[in-house]
Every structure is written in C-alpha cells, then in structure tokens.
Amino acid sequence: MIEDELVHWWKDEKGVQHRTILRLEREDASEQNGFPRDGVLTVRVINTVGQAAIKLSPDEALRLSTQLLAVSKEILNQKRRLWQSHDGY
C-alpha cells in the first residue's frame, strides 16, 4: 500500500525537466505459521531512468526517521540563525 509520495522536479544542464519520486510503501504486520511478523516499510526512488528500493524493518524505519528529524531541525535552525544575523538581530 502506498503511504505517501514526494515529487521533486529538476532541470538538467540542458534545461530539460525531470521528475524524481520518493515513495513510501507499507506492508502490514502479519501472522505467519502462527507467529507475529513485523511489517515492512519500503522506500522507493523512481525517476526517468529506473527505480531503486530498500525495505526497512519498523526499527530501521524509526531509526532513519529520528535521524532525518534531528538533521532537518538543525538545518532549519541554521537558516533561522542566518536570517537573524542578516536582519541585524
């Protein structure tokens, strides 16, 4: 099941527009042979050339999302500090 997609448009050196899609897909947890099994989160990158994917366990996905959140917050704070110095605060 597709959970979400991020579409990124970009132009190459010749000015030709391209699209890259980052898609999050999920497979729910299930029971196999009487035992509960983790679900899977698939991160898929699709562009005009092809596609690649990585399947993550819930633990791996949480680790990645925590790191993305921390790095994103730091980058936003850096930008905020740059604007503050730019505006003379």
Shortest CA distance to 21 belongs to which of 55, 46, 3? Answer: 46
For residues 41 and 24, give the distance between their C-alpha atoms in angstroms, rounded to a whole number: 7
Q: What is the pTM (predicted TM-score) of this model?
A: 0.78
User: Which residues touch 12 (CB under 8 Å, ≥6 apart)?
Assistant: 18
**Under 8 Å CB-to-CB from 80, ≥6 apart: which residues?**
none
- Quote the pLDDT of residue 86: 83
What is the per-residue pLDDT for 89? 61
Question: In the chain, where are the structural domains located?
Answer: 1-56, 58-89
pLDDT at 49: 83
SS (H, E, C) 6-24: EEEEEECCCCCEEEEEEEE
- List per-block mean pLDDT (blocks of 10 residues) for the chain, which spans 89 residues: 95 93 96 94 93 97 96 96 83
